[in-house]
Amino acid sequence: MPRVRVNRTARQQDGPVVTKHSDATAVRLPETMAVLLAAVSGFVDAFVYLRVYPVFTANQSGNLVLAGIAVGEGEWGVAGVCAVSIACYIIGAALVIAAFDRDRVAGRARLRAALGTEVVVLIVLVLVGTAFGRGRSVSHVVDAPVVLMVAATACAMGIQGVALRRVHGVSVLTTAGTGNVTTIGERLGRFGAVMADRGDELAIGIIGGVVLSYVLGAVGGALASRVNSVGPALVLIPVAVLASAMIVQLRARGSTVNPG
């Protein structure tokens, strides 16, 4: 494995910093992985919002707003589903960190395991939706199938959210947009302050690609949701993308990526 020099005293605002975090040094094609995962998030968010229940399962910032509005308007069912989504997202993220986020576990191995787990959870979503006849049109009734589908999807998105956090030393989040958009604004501001360097250009390119991919994934999810003849099996589209990403990592055992 190529040796990566770690700058332990690097300035926090001076562009990407290579750390000891294993996912930055071992994941194959990290830029492509980040873009694909963001597209999956956008697709799943759109599908759940349009076909299951009007909440988000990846974009938890949106859920916090929806939950606040629901409480203010006395819509306790909506608030409860938002709370389920937020809680299960946290659980999914915590499970990955507890199981795989250790220095001795290579980032590629953790990403493979996380993607495999996410695929299984999303397949459970498809099975639940098929068994209970859900996922063909949005429901405004809170019942067990809705809660199960939201919970499973949010857990999958939480798993994905921490599966890949750095690309060439740049922090990314493939399940939401607010933090990424804020970072783009911060990096652009450094150009105005004549403080920018190539690291800022790299960060804007990577994070911009992730944000765009999330939006395009949502567009794809919305367009796919218009096909009324297909129910929860639409989720097999992101499942196929995740499985392909996992195969790429499985076939990459002999090579690593130097993010420096």
Q: Where are the domains of the chain?
A: 37-245
The yes-or-no verdict on residue 11 having pLDDT over 80 is no
pLDDT band at 25 (very low <50, low <70, confident <90, very high): very low
Fold annotation for 37-245? Growth Hormone; Chain: A; (1.20.1250)
The answer to whether 234 touches 51, Cβ cutoff 8 Å, is: yes
Confidence (pTM): 0.83
pLDDT band at 80 (very low <50, low <70, confident <90, very high): very high
Question: What Rg do the C-alpha atoms of the chain give, in angstroms?
Answer: 19
Say how far apart CA 214 and CA 97 lie, in whole Å. 23
10: Cα separation from own chain's centroid: 28
Give me the chain's average pLDDT, please: 83
pLDDT of residue 51: 94
For residues 112-139, give the mean pLDDT.
Answer: 91
* DSSP one-letter code for 50: I
For residues 155-183, give the mean pLDDT.
Answer: 88
* DSSP one-letter code for 232: G
pLDDT of residue 6: 39
For residues 235-242, give the mean pLDDT.
Answer: 94
Q: What is the Cβ-side half-sphere exposure of residue 190, based on CA atoms within 13 angstroms?
A: 18
CB under 8 Å, gap of 24 or more: what pairs does 212-216 form? 213/34, 213/35, 213/36, 213/38, 213/39, 213/42, 214/38, 214/39, 214/41, 214/42, 214/174, 214/176, 214/177, 215/42, 216/39, 216/42
Say how far apart CA 240 and CA 135 lie, in whole Å. 18
The yes-or-no verdict on residue 181 having pLDDT over 80 is yes
- What share of the chain has pLDDT > 90, as a percent? 53
Say how far apart CA 130 and CA 232 lie, in whole Å. 6
Token representation of residue 40: 């999956």
Token representation of residue 198: 């190539």
- Which of residues 104 and 243 earns the better pLDDT score? 243
The H-or-E segment that residue 166 falls in is strand 166-167
* DSSP one-letter code for 49: I
- What share of the chain has pLDDT > 70, as a percent? 83
The answer to whether 37 touches 163, Cβ cutoff 8 Å, is: yes
Say how far apart CA 50 and CA 53 lie, in whole Å. 7
